[in-house]
Copies of this chain bind each other. A is one copy, B any other.
Amino acid sequence: MDIKYIDADLLQWNGNKTYLPISERTNYLSLGEGNTPIVELRNIGNLVGGQIHSKMEFMNPTGSFKDRGSAIMISALKDMNVSEIVEDSSGNAGASISAYSARAGIKAHIFAPSTAPKPKLDQIAVYGAQTHLIEGARDDSTKAAILYATSNSIPYASHNLSPFFIEGTKLFAHEIYRDMNGNLPDHIVIPVGNGSLFLGAWKGFSELKKQGHINQIPKLHCIQAQSVMPIVSAASGKKWGSDDVKPTIAGGIAVGSPPRLKQVTRVLKSSTGTSMSVSENEIKKWQLLLANQEGLYIEPTSAAAFAGTEKLIDTKIIQKSDSVLIPITGFGLKDNPPEL
């Protein structure tokens, strides 16, 4: 199939160029996603002894960074006259794809774990997608979705596999370059489940490097919950199997068998980043710290990245004089409220 691309300058571009896989601008179904602000978090910086900025990815139309990917993926599918899709998700991607599908007039089937937080499941349903609740671990939703798609001959529009999705998340990197006036952070610390933001960031920075805008890509660090750490295990050569999955409050990164595991570990190596795992208590602690120190109500999944940053500073992988950027990937309102 021949895929056409539009120039992304409709996204208020500024010097550097990138392209999006949509045939015409009028087919671009934006809800205003992206262009999220970058804010310095001085109170958190004082706590960990570093210079911390956050990019507010939760300030997207459905409350998570997934909207970047969904906007491009659903626009591209609409472009191809797809009218019905199947997707699986722990909640955020499901809500996002349900929203953009509604706007596109595409019927969406979202397969999600029956244990997903109620606000996320409610949100998926409100936009109008058909929800299929699946017992078991996150990976069982994937299996059920693939089976359903195959049996019913409906396209499986997986945000974890679709190349279009990463064409959307790559703009995260382009915006950092634009908004920090080329002064890239030394480190970007990302919570990683399937890696759609991690790989998108790598693609965006790689484009900028190829075009000569930057000489060096920031170190991309990968944070996982100790309860679900296939990437951390792979990167350190430790054994890991789906049987090792334990429950975690960081549902957005609870992916036991990430299909792009090899790609993620390759990017980790290329960007000289480190992978690190954090405990449930560390995640809880950081969720509350962000709220009561900075006024930011973030998902446990996002809190994991702050917990990981503290460890990366403690172990001197990040120096106190270095600059660090942490995406806040999802809004706290989307999850069960923390215990106070």
Contact = CB atoms under 8 A, between A and B. Distances in A.
Given A31-B39, A36-B32, A333-B123, A100 B295 contact: yes
Interface stretch (A54-62, A140-148, A182-190, A242-250): A54-62
Interface of A: 30-32, 35-39, 43, 56, 59-63, 98-103, 119, 122-123, 125-128, 288, 291-297, 331-334, 337-338, 340
A208 to B, nearest CB: 22
A103 B294 contact: yes
A126 B340 CA distance: 7
Contacts of A43: 103
In the assembly, how many copies of this chain are there? 2
22 contacts: A30-B39, A31-B294, A31-B295, A31-B296, A59-B60, A62-B295, A63-B63, A98-B295, A99-B295, A99-B296, A102-B293, A102-B294, A122-B337, A123-B332, A123-B333, A126-B297, A126-B338, A127-B292, A127-B295, A128-B291, A331-B331, A331-B333
A14 to B, nearest CB: 12
A292 B108 CA distance: 11
B294 A333 contact: no
B39 A56 contact: no
Nearest to A294: B103
A293 B99 CA distance: 9
A67 to B, nearest CB: 9
